[in-house]
Amino acid sequence: MDLENQKRVKEYHDQYGGENLVVLLGAAEAEAAGLAAETVTGGDPTFAGPLAGVQLGLQVYHVVEEAFKSEIDFEIYDEQIGMMEMVLEVEEIANEMQSIRSEFSKY
């Protein structure tokens, strides 16, 4: 997650409270999604950005996870994300996200 997005997430957290935020990711690889998820939950693991050492514990999901998918109109999901879902390692991404949530999420 780039430094500007880290800054935005921190500002939204400070303005609205962590319990009112959900971060949605769309990275194509589990490792990239996991790194971004860890950044908004446990703090920037590279210690380079505004979230270095800042554990926000935010709720974070990937757009191909069932928890998100079940909340969206099927036709819209299929139109916007369906093709991506066919080429991504959905189970690997979901496992990575679940692992990060269980370790760092507060909400």
Quick: pLDDT tens for 50-66.
999 999 999 999 999 99
Asked if residue 62 lies in contact with residue 89, where contact means CB atoms within 8 angstroms, the answer is: no
The structural domains of the chain, with segments of one domain joined by +, span 3-104
pTM for the full model? 0.92
Asked if residue 50 lies in contact with residue 6, where contact means CB atoms within 8 angstroms, the answer is: yes
Q: Could you read off the pLDDT of 77-101 as tens digits, one per residue?
A: 999 999 999 999 999 999 999 999 9
Asked if residue 87 lies in contact with residue 49, where contact means CB atoms within 8 angstroms, the answer is: no
Q: State whether residue 22 is helix, strand or coil.
A: strand
Distance CA 98, CA 91 (A): 10
Averaged pLDDT, 25-30: 97
